[in-house]
Amino acid sequence: MTPPPTRARTPPVPGDDVSVLGGLTATRRRALSRLGVETVEDLLRLAPRRYEDRRHPQPIAQLVEGSTVLVIGEVISARVFRARRGLTIHEAVVADATGEVKARWFHRGGWMPRALQAGTSVALFGTVKARGRAVELASPAIEHLPAEGEESEDGVPGANRLVPVHPLTSGLTAPVVRRAVWNALPAADALADSLPPERLAALGLPRLADALRALHFPDRLEDAEQARRRLALDELLVHEILLARRRRNRLAERAPAIAVDARLDARIRARLPFSLTEAQDAVVAEIAADLARPHPMNRLLQGDVGSGKTAVAAYALLAVVARGHQGAFMAPTEVLARQHERTLGALLEGSRVRIETLAGGRRGKARQEALERVARGEVDLVLGTHAVISKAVRFDDLGLVVVDEQHKFGVRQRHDLVAKAGDDRRPHLLVMTATPIPRTLALTVYGDLDVSVITGRPPGRRPVETCVVDPARQGREVLDRVRAELAVGRQAFVIYPLVEESDKLGLRDAVDGRARWARALPDHRVGLLHGRMKPEEKETVMAAFLSGAVHLLVATVVVEVGIDVPNATVLVVEHAERFGLSQLHQLRGRIGRGTVGGLCVLVDRSKDQTPARLEVLAATDDGFEIAEEDLKLRGTGDVLGTRQHGVAGFRAARLPRDLPLLGHARREATAVLDVDPGLEDPVHAVLAGLVAARLERAERTESGG
Ligand code: ADP
Ligand code: MG
């Protein structure tokens, strides 16, 4: 497909600001900027999310409810009218040789799009809905079709072909982005390839300029996929180059060397209430070796829920504190930070180690004084949420940071740690996660971290029985089981899904749920915990549950990670269908912590008859297997909780699908860096440019939130 002759405009070049493309108001440019698009090249590299197949128009007489169709016809009439609540509705009747169909759009605003003038030829693409006895098209995309011999309004192909739908954000519509991309295409020819043609040929990939045309306006889906892989190659090359560099830089970074000799080792172990498992021992040895070096440790500790990561963290923190440095332990929630405070507090009973928890409940003067004590080195262990490493918290001599259950701890946060150790030294870092990231993926995403894995669980733990239930048929049974457990003095969690903190409906569900459970269990105390409660309220409820004063805790997902209440044996998850498998597995980790087994009830309220997804949980207790399954079903973004930004900022690359390509990229990157580590040779100018652009983008998006 040849781009249109650009009318009265000089052709764009890749480095131009997108404003040269026309049709992009300041608002739209800001929206593009949120997608990381500033220049024409950025836009060209914005891979479509999907393609709409608009090659096969459907005769109007044959429209079937529920299908997504392309209709080509002529506008017979159109009108705009006001409905309730000031809503404006556009309605058009479109006809082809076989019949007529109504299309309706709900907009705010009274203008009539030009394409809807009577007599205009249009392509409508959308879903067929029933309306009374007839069918209509619900808010279809409209494309104005040029009359024969007439040039289309803007020349952008929108019908009779595969049409790209690009990533969007508020303020942008698919046609706007498509038009901008179309106008940007002439700049593609000026883009040089990052690898020489023979290397690309060896990988079976097209040249960039060809790839970009096929990416946005492909003739066949296979061409689009090949083009996507060509773009993915560049992303993966840059990724591998950055990883390789970071590995090299680490040797230039300094950290306090902390030696753990046999005496200290024995002292620390004496404080633990159990002896470490073999798996914990192995990880402790790896960590001790890292700490002894004058370069910062960067270690990711993966261990399934309940595998005993906290004890490993405690070991490392105690070692660092014993050698006169400070330690910080960050948890994702305050509830969890408080739990760590209790665990560590118990271990350190009678010692001289000073612990301070920086929680949100602490404000004003008390917090200020705590901060000052930390800065003066009068506190040895600082606990809290991520606020612990914010700029406001200054340390005297921070030797180790442990980040619990936060696999998203990024490069930038790591960067913030620099200088916290004083004398240009950076503290050691241990990131712990129960999100069982498959090993292949871990190496990709955390390629510059060393990975330790705790396999298995501490002895004495019983498996959790898991069942998926249909509330209509088995609701009674569930209640009986819960009642039976509570009757013998055990405790239970009931979890409600919450899409986000501000999800009012989810909150309602939990509040109503608490009332219902309280009515059903008049002899027991039922508590409620959710993210909108004040920190002190949460603390009170958690304490009551821990002490056994509250028997059943209804909670939103705030309890998801890390809470340790050994006496809780039952977990009921409401609307289990709304959770990811890995998330459910984490939730299930809340029970079966003591020496009695546990029961996990997944209430499936989806009315569909495909419970297979949830059944995976009933079938296995292996978090890794579950994560692989999740990955297959939902893609990497969901597993890592980074769907918005893509893994490591990838836009075109898809993992694990592109893992083979990643391997190629690693080899190519190593080959290049071996001969030209600084990417200074002019033959590597394109790569150097891509690396610089990637760093700049990371800076922009991270500082912009
Ligand atoms: P997670 O890895 O999910 O953070 P925790 O550190 O909370 O797991 O440990 C889960 C439970 O196992 C806790 O109750 C803890 O006290 C217990 N535990 C940890 N290590 C051992 C061990 N070596 N022997 C016995 N119990 C252990
Ligand atoms: Mg934990």
369 and 275 assigned to the same domain: yes
Q: Ligand 2 centre and the CA of 532: distance in Å?
A: 23
Q: What's the residue count for the chain? A: 705
- 164-195 residue pLDDT tens: 989 888 888 888 899 899 999 999 999 999 99
Average pLDDT over residues 578-598: 80
| Pair 567, 524 in one domain | yes
| Number of C-beta neighbours around residue 169 at 10 A | 12
Nearest ligand for residue 586 CA: 1
Q: How far apart are CA 578 and CA 563, in angstroms?
A: 21
Protein residue with its CA nearest to atom 25 in ligand 1: 458
Q: Which residue minimizes the CA distance to atom 20 of ligand 1?
A: 308
CA 180/CA 166 separation, integer angstroms: 11
Q: Which of 169-173, 636-640, 689-693 has the lowest mean pLDDT?
A: 636-640
Q: Which of 493-502, 633-642, 681-690 has the highest mean pLDDT?
A: 681-690
The number of distinct structural domains making up the chain is 4
State in Å: Cα 277 to ligand 1 middle: 10
Do 422 and 481 fall into the same domain? no
- Asked whether residue 567 is domain-assigned, the answer is yes
Q: What is the pTM of this model?
A: 0.64
User: Nearest bound ligand to CA 336?
Assistant: 2
- With cut-offs at 50, 70 and 90, classify the pLDDT of residue 611: low
Domain boundary among 416, 436, 454: 454
Pocket of ligand 1 (CB under 6 A): 274, 276-277, 280, 303, 305-311, 434, 458, 562, 564, 566, 589, 593
Q: Are residues 577 and 437 in the same domain?
A: no
Q: Shortest CA distance to 161 belongs to which of 214, 97, 98, 121?
A: 214
Query: Atom of ligand 1 at shortest distance to CA of 313?
Result: 6
Ligand nearest to the CA of 562: 2
**What CATH code is carried by the domain that includes residue 510?**
3.40.50.300
Pocket test for ligand 1, best of 271, 307, 402, 433 (most atoms within 8 A of CB): 307
Do 536 and 485 belong to one domain?
A: yes
d(C-alpha 590, C-alpha 587), whole Å: 6
Average pLDDT over residues 225-236: 94
First to last CA, the chain: 39
CB 385 within 8 A of CB 332: yes
Q: Atom 16 of ligand 1 has which residue's CA nearest to it?
A: 308
Q: Ligand 1 centre from 556 Cα, in Å? A: 24
Q: Determine the 3-state secondary structure of 603 from DSSP.
A: strand
> Is residue 577 domain-shared with residue 444, that is, in the same domain?
no
CA dihedral 63, 64, 70, 76 (to 10 degrees): 40
Q: In three state form, how does the secondary structure of 387-419 look? A: HHHCCCCCCCCEEEEEEECCCCCCHHHHHHHCC
101 Cα: distance to centroid of ligand 1 (angstroms): 64
Could you say which DSSP state residue 597 is in?
Answer: -
Q: Are residues 425 and 476 in the same domain?
A: no
Q: Which atom of ligand 1 is nearest to the CA of 277?
A: 23
* d(C-alpha 21, C-alpha 165), whole Å: 18
Q: Whose CA is nearest to atom 10 of ligand 1?
A: 306
**Which residues are bridge partners to 555 per DSSP?**
495, 529
Q: What residue numbers bound the domain in which 294 lies? A: 262-454
Query: How many whole angstroms separate alpha carbon 691 and alpha carbon 693?
Result: 5
Please tell me the predicted confidence (pLDDT) of residue 689. Answer: 92
**Mean confidence (pLDDT) of the chain:** 84
For 125, the token pair is 């693409």
What is the bridge-based pairing of β-strands 121-131 and 88-96?
unpaired
Residue 620 pLDDT level (bands cut at 50, 70, 90):
confident
Ligand 1 atom 18, closest CA: 308
The CATH code of the domain that includes 117 is: 2.40.50.140
Task: Give the largest CA-CA distance in the chain.
Answer: 90
Is residue 84 domain-shared with residue 16, that is, in the same domain?
Answer: no
- Higher-confidence residue of 461 and 357: namely 357
Mutating to test ligand 1, I would choose from 317, 330, 564 the residue with most ligand atoms within 8 A of its C-beta, which is 564
Residue at which a domain ends, from 599, 623, 647: 623
Ligand nearest 315 Cα, by number?
1
Nearest to 72 by CA among 59, 85, 83, 61: 59
Residues 292 and 346 in one domain: yes
